[in-house]
Chains A and B, each alone.
Chain A
């Protein structure tokens, strides 16, 4: 039996943020996720740290909120953020009238905005379409979602919280209309873990409806607005580049770590677990990419994936166009709605404002519990952010310079050394190489694990003292996982890489005959 004051279901940004906030306010907190943290929507977006520019015309209050939280995150989570800056550029396909609206919208929302000439834009980003007719600079950034979420989780831990990843909630308990806790199942050991909690926060994003139902609260409709994103193998741009137009598909290119991500699309998915990639959406993104960066189709597409935005159904918009639904979040107070006390659902929203959403939620929780504890999440930095310095792309390169000859480079594409890999394996204590991938970016470079998967398996076998079957499963499972993201964009250079990787894994190592 795990005892807590508050149980937070869902380890995405919102859930991790709520857990941190609650723990910092002195509540005994438990955070639970059926998978590894940030494997839902949070781990599947392009990494944009909003300046709010994308909402400056459509939703100025939302834009202003983004800018505020942008500043807060830069303060408390500097090392997860790369200060890339952002551009909004007018291509020949964009309505020139929009730029004026954009400019005034930014000013109204308090977003620092600077008009730039075409030549200045091309000087900063030489790969952009020379037919651009001017644009603006705004303080967009690129943020590492996993690092931020783990930062929140570790911060929560420092304040006494318990993090239970790979635990699935199977039932939520009530007594006399008040929630009293839940039962979780450890997905690895299969054992049941009862959790007693005075308050439950449902922060499960796109799955919020399913989880709410476990507490007897029916009809919470969260529509999965699925979008796909393609990571291009290197940074075609070093600044976040947006099209200066009404937000639509494929109008943003985000440099995030060593890749640039183009996104995104917007269709209603069949279910929150639907991560299928429609081929026509891939072609759409490539077309839009070509408008921004001539030669985009010849550049190397590394990987494609889908994520679903949680869109709480609003009576005013039709089902089909999920983009129109509000991206502001929804806090559902189940006492009002369903007569179930001490149970809140928080969903919707965007990554940039997660902390604010969490604050709002914990404030409401405090109101219900009749205790006035102030929020301090905006003041205290996340652990590991001690340097208060933004992430710098060259950091791994600089670090490797120092250990060129006394540490082995295991993942060469992403410059991951053996010592770093071994310590991550020891820390995470996992048999799943995909968990390590999220921590370190293992196998996320151009060769998609062609060289490092074998090495990492050999090292895992040793560090975790696995038997042959466990090591083989780790290798085969990771190979399959990498394949899922590469298969839909198998053309050009990535097809060549895949063919070399086939030679290595099948022709040379013969992994399909592993027992």
Chain B
């Protein structure tokens, strides 16, 4: 059987700014933007993106502070029927805005979770206590602008890296590399352990190379140069494995999106090494579903008689791979999944932590929180860590990565 591959249009790399030409003002993006629908402070993605960009002369002064209320969730680019890179245009314009005004200290701190992680892990106990203390949080809010009720995660007191160093992965002729991200390392090492267990259960040797932050929070806070440094460093750490053809599997859909495309599209990083790593990067659900499609996934799933709401984070949808978690859930007997057709939880990375944006963030996520709370489930499932923390904060429901349900069902 011969297969004729006709590539209709080699992927055309529109400059992000140039893609504004495709905007025909249909305003569909604005009907889907969770943030402009929740606050009049943000005029909407079409406004701050392709429309305002025609009024930016590449010079020094950015007059539109309202741009800062864009959360970078990327739903606009996703729903645009015309192919305008709205979120990317917004991100770049925002970086210029902050370049001019100077990134505030708060944003610089929030944007470096790995730095915070390294400092706080040895003293996690007292740090967690402080971050849970109302008085301390009020002071932090006043001094640094982090909302006192913002859902800050707890430091685990140990790192996933230290576990991985002590964990011997079984020998196999199939190898994957695990890109765990800052949140797994400092806040949720259990998740990393579960991910490794699931992969090993499927016959893979899992390598966990030393690695640092992907730079996403820096990018979303407008600090492009440090973001580029971080992503290049990460790519350098992972490149030797990518070159050997090993897939790089990630459990954070936000961080893996950075490697897959945001480094190039938003930061303008076109280093071959970063591209090579990106091409080999997979979300873990995407990876496992591909295995299943090839008939190579272990399907010894035990029943999980639960009803679980599933929320696909904005940046998960930005992968353009559909929702592989749903198909994986379908393999688990008795598991009933309620796919939530609500768009955004509101946290948008570090956006909802900020004093001036917390209320907007909670308002955006309100419908999601209520829908989940009304179901009274044992847990909710969601692929991104910051979204999980927001969902728990807003709905009172425990929240897990889809991998955890597979882990449980495998009986690991």
Task: Report if A496-B55 is in contact (Cβ < 8 Å); known contacts: A299-B18, A404-B66, A405-B40.
Answer: no
Asked whether, in the complex, the Cβ of A398 is within 8 Å of the Cβ of B47, the reply is no
Is A234 part of the contact surface with B, judged by Cβ < 8 Å? Answer: yes
B62 neighbours in A (Cβ, 8 Å) = 394
Asked whether, in the complex, the Cβ of A500 is within 8 Å of the Cβ of B24, the reply is yes
Asked whether, in the complex, the Cβ of A493 is within 8 Å of the Cβ of B22, the reply is yes
Q: Mark B52-73, 1 if CB is under 8 A from A, else 0.
A: 1111111101111110000000
Is B21 part of the contact surface with A, judged by Cβ < 8 Å? Answer: yes
Q: Mark B19-38, 1 if CB is under 8 A from A, else 0.
A: 01111111000000000000
Q: Mark A428-463, 1 if CB is under 8 A from B, else 0.
A: 000000000000000001110011000000000000
Cross-interface CB contact of B24 among A127, A234, A394, A496, cutoff 8 Å: A496
Asked whether, in the complex, the Cβ of A397 is within 8 Å of the Cβ of B25, the reply is no
B138 neighbours in A (Cβ, 8 Å) = none
Asked whether, in the complex, the Cβ of A401 is within 8 Å of the Cβ of B65, the reply is yes
B53 neighbours in A (Cβ, 8 Å) = 234
Within 8 A of A (CB), among B1-31: 15, 17-18, 20-26
Asked whether, in the complex, the Cβ of A497 is within 8 Å of the Cβ of B24, the reply is yes
Is B82 part of the contact surface with A, judged by Cβ < 8 Å? Answer: yes
Q: How far is the CB of B95 from chain A (nearest CB, A)?
A: 16
Closest to A497 in B: B24
Cross-interface CB contact of B64 among A258, A401, A412, cutoff 8 Å: A401
* Residue among B40, B57, B64 having the largest count of chain A Cβ atoms under 10 Å: B57
Is B77 part of the contact surface with A, judged by Cβ < 8 Å? Answer: no
Task: Report if A451-B21 is in contact (Cβ < 8 Å); known contacts: A405-B40, A415-B55, A445-B54.
Answer: no
Closest to A396 in B: B55
What is the CA–CA distance of A381 and B124 in the complex, to the nearest angstrom? 68
Asked whether, in the complex, the Cβ of A493 is within 8 Å of the Cβ of B24, the reply is yes
A405 neighbours in B (Cβ, 8 Å) = 40
Task: Report if A496-B40 is in contact (Cβ < 8 Å); known contacts: A295-B18, A397-B52.
Answer: no
Asked whether, in the complex, the Cβ of A393 is within 8 Å of the Cβ of B55, the reply is yes
Asked whether, in the complex, the Cβ of B57 is within 8 Å of the Cβ of A404, the reply is no
Asked whether, in the complex, the Cβ of B55 is within 8 Å of the Cβ of A397, the reply is yes
Is A355 part of the contact surface with B, judged by Cβ < 8 Å? Answer: no
B interface residues, tally (CB under 8 Å): 31
Asked whether, in the complex, the Cβ of A397 is within 8 Å of the Cβ of B18, the reply is no
Is B43 part of the contact surface with A, judged by Cβ < 8 Å? Answer: yes
Q: Mark B202-218, 1 if CB is under 8 A from A, else 0.
A: 00000000000000000
Interface residues on A, range: 20 to 34
Closest to A255 in B: B57
Within 8 A of B (CB), among A233-264: 233-235, 238, 258
B15 neighbours in A (Cβ, 8 Å) = 127
Asked whether, in the complex, the Cβ of A496 is within 8 Å of the Cβ of B82, the reply is yes
Is B302 part of the contact surface with A, judged by Cβ < 8 Å? Answer: no
B47 neighbours in A (Cβ, 8 Å) = 412
What is the CA–CA distance of A405 and B41 in the complex, to the nearest angstrom? 8
Closest to A450 in B: B25
Asked whether, in the complex, the Cβ of A394 is within 8 Å of the Cβ of B56, the reply is yes
Within 8 A of B (CB), among A385-413: 392-394, 396-398, 400-401, 404-405, 412-413
Is A157 part of the contact surface with B, judged by Cβ < 8 Å? Answer: no
Closest to A496 in B: B24
Q: How far is the CB of A505 from chain B (nearest CB, A)?
A: 14
Asked whether, in the complex, the Cβ of A446 is within 8 Å of the Cβ of B25, the reply is yes
Q: How far is the CB of A295 from chain B (nearest CB, A)?
A: 7
Cross-interface CB contact of B51 among A235, A392, A413, A500, cutoff 8 Å: A413
* Residue among B15, B22, B40, B82 having the largest count of chain A Cβ atoms under 10 Å: B22
B41 neighbours in A (Cβ, 8 Å) = 404
- What 8 new A-B contacts, CB under 8 Å, besides A258-B55, A394-B61? A127-B15, A234-B21, A258-B54, A295-B18, A412-B51, A413-B25, A446-B54, A493-B21
Q: Which residues of A are in contact with B by a Cβ distance under 8 Å?
A: 127, 233-235, 238, 258, 295, 299-300, 392-394, 396-398, 400-401, 404-405, 412-413, 415, 445-447, 450-451, 493, 496-497, 500
Can you offer 24 A-B residue contacts whose CB atoms are under 8 A? A234-B17, A235-B54, A238-B57, A299-B18, A392-B61, A393-B57, A394-B56, A394-B62, A396-B55, A397-B52, A397-B56, A397-B63, A398-B63, A398-B64, A401-B65, A404-B40, A412-B47, A412-B51, A413-B25, A415-B55, A447-B25, A496-B24, A496-B82, A500-B24
